[in-house]
Structure 1
Amino acid sequence: MLQGGSWFFSMAILIIPTCLANDLWQCICDGPGCTQDTCRGRKCFVTIENADGFTKQTKGCFSEHLMEQCKSTVQGTATTKCCDADMCNGNLTIHQAEPDPPAKKQLQLILIPLLVILLLLLLVTVYFCRARWHHRKRLLTRLHELGDTDMLKASIVGDSTLGDLLDDYCTTGSGSGLPFLVQRTVARQITLVECVGFIASDMTSRNSSTQLWLITHYHESGSLYEYLQRTTVDPEGCLWLALSIICGLVHLHVEIFGTQGKPAIAHRDLKSRNILVKKNKQCCIADLGLAVMHSQTSDYLDIGNNPRVGTKRYMAPEVLDETIRTDSFESYKQTDVWAFGLVLWEIARRTVINGMVEEYKPPFFDVVPSDPSFEDMKKVVCTDQQRPRIPNNWHSDTIVSALAKIMKECWYQSPSARLTALRIKKTLHKLNSPVNNFKEEC
């Protein structure tokens, strides 16, 4: 019995240490604290650390007191993974996401707010476009519902229908761009108050629309704008056209006293479309719809509510940036001189010099769109202070070279520095040319 009991006791002693030893695993160890190739611990681990663009792998074992580090999570730049088996960290792998490079992170920080801003702008644009579309739809519906009598009543009591339509649809000011419906609407709201010139007027109906007619002298060459597109001139013909225009402008600008007199007039919309070419190739100024009058006796000046009127392409700098002296009649005469310089440039461009001539182009054709906005013209004329280009070959002809000098003196940024219409007329008369016989008719 004693021997049997001793055998049992000795077996128990051998078994217990073996079980305690199995709680510690033998692991591969290659870290800084390793003294041998292996170590024993409660857990085997593998750690991957990213630092300064390099990846470092460490293997070892954890004791009981370091068990909280044995997690398959990212802590800063290190990732740790553990296992329970002898030498299990030899083949243990960690799938770690590549960290974003600094440049990529910076790009993300820039792009995300930018995309949010673009999205907001898109939403705002869509909102305003829909609002504008609904506004126009309401206006058109209202026009269809109103009859002739109602429309006339609306204009009498000051309804804003006409003004709204013109604000929505007007472009260059020539009237040619208005939709057919709007032209009908305008005609229905016009009443002839007083005949101030021309030959006659009439009202007719065509295709269910009302048309108001103004009958004037017929000039078969049409406007100067149309004439220059199909016709070239020689230097003498260029001077003839220029002199006839400036004579008309002087006549407008000067007040004539007496029973057959007239007040001084500033045109405010001088351009090649508003100048007619007669059969004898003289020009006459037309379309005084935006003109203002001034008399020294009454010193009265009526310009309406908006001083920034006319055709944007021909507007002077002080009109575009709204620095014009609205209480001074001289200011409006100076804007006419600016526009005359541009018309003179249009004529000179179609003048044959040494067998060379350029195709017709409107002023500033190379720097603004075909229908420029106020901001387009303001940037070119006021901010950049650009002017139409003067070709070098213009200086090879005495007449055209003199006209180029006049143009530049019409385009001074300061209105007071520009030539007067009367000074331009006198300068053109002094040119040594057969056209000088025209002065008796001017």
Structure 2
Amino acid sequence: MDNPMLRLFFFCMLILCIWQCAEGLQCIECQYCNRPGGAPNTTCYTAKGYCMSIIVRDKEKDKNGLRISNKEVIRINRQCLHKKEFILEGRALMCHVSELMKDQQNVRCCKDQDFCNSVVPELRPLKSEEGGKQSSGSDISPMEMVVVIALPIMALVVITIVAVYAYCYCRRRPRPYAPPPDQNVDTNPLMGSQPSSLKELYDWSQSGSGSGLPLLVQRTIARQIRLCEIIGKGRYGEVWRGNWRGENVAVKIFPSREERSWYREAEIYQTVMLRHENILGFIAADNKDNGTWTQLWLITDYYENGSLFDYLNRQTISPTSMIRLAHTAAGGMAHLHMEILGAQGKPAIAHRDLKSKNILVKNNGTCCIADLGLAVGHNSKTDKVDIANSNRVGTKRYMAPECLDGSINMEHFESFKRADVYSFGLVLWEIARRCSVGGIFEEFQLPYYDVVPSDPSLEDMRKIVCGDKQRPAIPNRWQNIESLRVMARLMKECWYSNSAARLTALRIRKTLAGLADQEDLKI
């Protein structure tokens, strides 16, 4: 070692080896290790990424993924999360779980030290378990013991590596990375059997928590979609018709600056037990990065009839169709507003932007409610309203009087439900105008079309609705037709200036159901 050149060589090797050893984060990788026949524990590496551990409360299933009993099984998965899987720089979608879902699944991401994903996040107790036994003991698990023993040894190896040039050479060889998350949906172990249609996907997701597909499966599906044509464009993005395995889907594309709106809508759609025939079916949320900008995708069911606004613009409807549209739209609103109690319950949700453009028409002439980006949830235990942190506001033309004059009580959840009912009354008015009886009908118009500009300001609407207390005009001919007379009475009872006097969503749905029975209508 007396040769200065030799000492310099070994010093450079030391710096190189320490840099190589520090550039990557070591994680425990045991994907699906608690499944029968799962892979043994291994190690994976990630640079500028995270170690991730996932815990899921599930039902006991056979090797094909089919549920065989109601016995609960806790599944744990550990893996690396690489930087390329982030939604935006420094933010990984897969590291975030809605508060409403943490009794069914939870995720922990970390990068403070190697093997930090040995710690598994906790599941929030189910309602039926609250007040029961608490987890006992603070014993150190075998995995934690391994980590405690391994860390000093690894530090010693890094210090003494100065004379081990061969070891540094071996470190240059490719590392055993974890399988990429965008594996084919057919071979994804989370999927069990191989779904070939959207219906099978929905049936599979409802066998678990009822809160939508797992995030890894959502990303797999999203990356198999081919965009076909643009079908809509609004203030917050575009809507495309896409194709997945021969089936049409709708892809709502948000620009990266609208990340909050995209994230919020995806979070609401994945609320436990939200899926309903009169709520737009949610499929997946994912990001697409082409190297220049990031697109945020929200993938849902596709209906070729488009929105109720488009549908009523194109054609008139019969009294039977009018009742079917109104009754099913009311059913979607009632399901949103309703709280479902129990371990697999659903919080009450208010839409906050109900209008004909946010209601879609299915092929069978029924409606489903879409665009939940402004929706708010209600925690009945704490009586708190979960309001999104967003600058978005509802559509001014459809705002209730208390929203226009600022008198709405933001701390009281019932206030938001009553504002929804006011907006729904305006939608009923739009539907009824297009009802053709004896060849007589009205042209399609938006509410207050005759007293405010096409793009009214808050001041315009406040003057008409709050100051002058005007409401859309009811044609005289409606009083001579039973179905239209009932619709007129309903919408008037939705428009009261006193929000407490308005009908509830459930009352509206029941009244329209009775009207459907009179018409011998099967919905």
TM-score normalised by L of structure 2: 0.47
Q: What CA deviation, in whole Å up to 9, does each residue of 1:276-335 have, x standing for no partner?
A: 111111101111111111132232212257899311000000000001111111111100
CA contact (8 A) 2:325 2:367 kept: yes
Q: Which amino acid aligns with 1:303?
A: I
1:315 is matched with which residue: 377, 382, 399?
A: 399
CA contact (8 A) 2:374 2:392 kept: no
- CA 1:152–1:204: 2 relative to 1, 3 Å: closer
2:375 is matched with which residue: 291, 304, 329?
A: 291
Query: Does the residue aligned with 1:216 lie in a helix, a strand or coil?
Result: strand
Q: Which residue of 2 aligns with 1:274?
A: 358
- CA 1:436–1:306: 2 relative to 1, 3 Å: farther
Please state if 1:330 is matched with 2:414. yes
Query: Does the residue aligned with 2:360 lie in a helix, a strand or coil?
Result: strand
Q: Which amino acid aligns with 2:298?
A: L
- CA 1:231–1:287: 2 relative to 1, 3 Å: same
CA contact (8 A) 2:354 2:423 kept: yes
Q: Which amino acid aligns with 1:379?
A: K
Q: Which residue of 1 aligns with 2:474?
A: 390
| Structure 1 Cα separation of the partners of residues 493 and 261 of structure 2 | 41
Q: Which residue of 2 aligns with 1:418?
A: 502
CA contact (8 A) 2:320 2:521 kept: no
| Structure 1 Cα separation of the partners of residues 373 and 333 of structure 2 | 15
Q: Which residue of 2 aligns with 1:176?
A: 234
Query: Does the residue aligned with 2:397 lie in a helix, a strand or coil?
Result: helix
Query: Does the residue aligned with 1:430 lie in a helix, a strand or coil?
Result: helix
2:484 is matched with which residue: 370, 389, 400?
A: 400
Q: Which residue of 2 aligns with 1:186?
A: 257
| Structure 1 Cα separation of the partners of residues 488 and 457 of structure 2 | 27
Query: Does the residue aligned with 2:346 lie in a helix, a strand or coil?
Result: coil
- CA 1:414–1:341: 2 relative to 1, 3 Å: same
Q: Which residue of 2 aligns with 1:340?
A: 424
| Structure 2 Cα separation of the partners of residues 410 and 270 of structure 1 | 13
Gaps in structure 2 of 5+ consecutive residues: 1-85, 92-231, 239-253, 271-281
Query: Does the residue aligned with 2:377 lie in a helix, a strand or coil?
Result: strand
Please state if 1:429 is matched with 2:513. yes
- Structure in which a larger fraction of residues adopt helix: 1
Deviation at 1:339, TM superposition (A): 0.4
Q: Which amino acid aligns with 1:186?
A: R
Deviation at 1:220, TM superposition (A): 1.1
Deviation at 1:436, TM superposition (A): 5.1
CA contact (8 A) 1:308 1:322 kept: no
1:253 is matched with which residue: 313, 337, 342?
A: 337
| Structure 1 Cα separation of the partners of residues 333 and 237 of structure 2 | 33
Q: Which amino acid aligns with 1:212?
A: L
Q: What CA deviation, in whole Å up to 9, does each residue of 1:84-124 have, x standing for no partner?
A: xxxxxxxxxxxxxxxxxxxxxxxxxxxxxxxxxxxxxxxxx
Query: Does the residue aligned with 1:213 lie in a helix, a strand or coil?
Result: strand
Deviation at 1:212, TM superposition (A): 2.2
Q: Which residue of 2 aligns with 1:265?
A: 349
CA contact (8 A) 2:354 2:420 kept: yes
TM-score normalised by L of structure 1: 0.56
- CA 1:241–1:391: 2 relative to 1, 3 Å: same
Q: Which amino acid aligns with 1:176?
A: G
1:409 is matched with which residue: 493, 498, 502?
A: 493
Q: Which residue of 2 aligns with 1:242?
A: 326
Query: Does the residue aligned with 1:367 lie in a helix, a strand or coil?
Result: coil
| Structure 1 Cα separation of the partners of residues 390 and 405 of structure 2 | 13
- Structure in which a larger fraction of residues adopt strand: 2
Q: Which amino acid aligns with 1:313?
A: R
CA contact (8 A) 2:353 2:395 kept: yes
Q: Which residue of 1 aligns with 2:316?
A: 232
Kindly name which structure, 1 or 2, has the bigger radius of gyration based on alpha carbons.
1
Query: Does the residue aligned with 1:211 lie in a helix, a strand or coil?
Result: strand
- CA 1:369–1:279: 2 relative to 1, 3 Å: same
| Structure 1 Cα separation of the partners of residues 332 and 414 of structure 2 | 17
After TM superposition, the structure 1 = structure 2 runs for residues 217-228 of structure 1, keeping only pairs within 5 Å, are 217-228=301-312
CA contact (8 A) 1:320 1:374 kept: yes
Q: Which amino acid aligns with 2:507?
A: R
Query: Does the residue aligned with 1:431 lie in a helix, a strand or coil?
Result: helix
Query: Does the residue aligned with 1:199 lie in a helix, a strand or coil?
Result: strand
CA contact (8 A) 2:418 2:502 kept: yes
Aligned-residue Cα RMSD (Å) equals 3.1
- CA 1:323–1:192: 2 relative to 1, 3 Å: closer
After TM superposition, the structure 1 = structure 2 runs for residues 50-129 of structure 1, keeping only pairs within 5 Å, are none
- CA 1:223–1:309: 2 relative to 1, 3 Å: same
Deviation at 1:437, TM superposition (A): 4.6
Deviation at 1:177, TM superposition (A): 4.1
Q: Which amino acid aligns with 1:213?
A: W
Query: Does the residue aligned with 1:301 lie in a helix, a strand or coil?
Result: strand
| Structure 2 Cα separation of the partners of residues 241 and 179 of structure 1 | 27
CA contact (8 A) 1:307 1:319 kept: no
- CA 1:305–1:321: 2 relative to 1, 3 Å: farther
CA contact (8 A) 1:313 1:363 kept: yes
